[in-house]
Structure 1
């Protein structure tokens, strides 16, 4: 992997520190001979020629994941110079390289800045359709990003809820499945006022918000054209520091439609279905609660 990183960046690597693993890839901090510090997300050992038992994803899968993340970061960055995403230093089929961002404790001021910058991301340079012009992934599960210029409710039901309901159905009861299907059937009535597509992060839980001092940066996106309330609902799902400050600053910069708080469970259904598919029945109760709340 070190040789591959040096070839990709065109400079020697002075030091490479392992930071563990996540899903089907490994994480590293690298100090380069030219003085830069970078973060590296690399394919698992099977990609580099080792032969671990039962690798979690094929080399082809991992190549697609890195391509999707790099495309998503670049696409989000095209929304404007203030977009809170890191640049892509380099990417290929085996790894993704980003600048090293030192972490810091979250502050109210940084949270308010995040709210304003997220509002600018969602409301500026809007895409023409839902989805994206690349194959998507969330964690290492595929996302159907087929561009679609129909309204968001049917797109959400067909491209986000239904595929992951099928993936997670083995961990759910037949009654649970029917409950989510009721949401899908009623989604037009539940979705609130029509909204044009926004460039959204798509997986904006608190672990993908990196606090760096005076601002927060958004990492590990499942970026696509979607509904802006989705990112806000995801931030609420597992808790985000100073979320009240983020939301207040966001709503001041780009006022949200009436009733948006009541729609949070609807937008949380997709990430909860993803968690059911990835981790099993431990997320079943949260999924059922969200589906019931979405139906009112």
Structure 2
């Protein structure tokens, strides 16, 4: 069902419709429509107001980073309704993958002093605690792994033995993971949030914060297989020797999130990652 009084609400945002809303697929908790307007073709998204506010903040932060990546422009935001620039999708190919790698490297070069973000947001429907922290290992432990691990255990989704292993892994991060100056990360960069356009690769639906750049790489490899062209462009000859271990570590948080949201179908993947890291 379309947002109530959507034409009037668009007009209040200085956007004039030139047709009716057309439903789009692809939304998870949100509802999506496409619309022709006086500002071109736009996407109208309806979701929880707090989640949308976090998305708007993330889109604006990605814009402000001024990388070669395309980021949809926010045209209007009103409570539970977001209006943004629509994207024309094409097939990526090797050149698109290379540009994605280069653009993501540019994004991760935008750094700051603390891990976290100025406000909390959400990864999908799950609230995401971004309280800043000076040390990346502490942030990963206290803001990511332990809260989600305990939430899964409380719902009976994570076995006690697995939770105990997860706690040991989190408490031992300082023994092998060096601290790093935190990069701006998309925060939810699975393959569905990458769109290839004629202007170049675009990234959508962010859950931004600052942390280890491998957060985005791990998510891309969790539900997809980026090509060699992507990695060649991203690493530019500087792949960390412990990348496989980092990948598994930073896949734990999204795997725990999927376990929390979708149930025991993800339990085995969480257990395998925990066993690999222990």
Q: Same fold (TM over 0.5)?
A: yes
Q: Please state if 1:251 is matched with 2:255.
A: no
Q: Which moved more, 1:88-97 or 1:221-230?
A: 88-97
Paired position in structure 1 for 2:186? 201
Aligned-partner Cα distance in 2 for 1:222–1:35: 26
Tell me how far 1:81 sits from its aligned partner: 4.6
Q: Please state if 1:7 is matched with 2:12.
A: yes
Aligned-partner Cα distance in 1 for 2:70–2:137: 27
Taking the TM superposition and a 5 Å limit, the aligned residue runs for 1:61-100 are 62-100=48-86
Query: Which runs of no fewer than 5 residues in structure 1 stay unpaired?
Result: 44-61
CA contact (8 A) 2:149 2:158 kept: no
Paired position in structure 2 for 1:59? none
CA-based RMSD of the aligned residues comes to 1.7
Paired position in structure 1 for 2:208? 223
Paired position in structure 2 for 1:147? 132
CA contact (8 A) 1:202 1:224 kept: yes
- 1:220-268: CA deviation from partner (whole Å, max 9, x where unpaired): 111001110111111000114x432111100118x34331223210010
Aligned-partner Cα distance in 1 for 2:19–2:164: 56
Paired position in structure 1 for 2:220? 235
Query: Which runs of no fewer than 5 residues in structure 2 stay unpaired?
Result: none
Aligned-partner Cα distance in 2 for 1:282–1:87: 36
Taking structure 2 as the reference length, the TM-score comes to 0.92
**Corresponding residue SS for 1:22:** coil
CA contact (8 A) 2:90 2:198 kept: yes
Aligned-partner Cα distance in 2 for 1:148–1:262: 23
**Paired positions, count:** 271
Q: Please state if 1:277 is matched with 2:263.
A: no
**Corresponding residue SS for 2:236:** helix
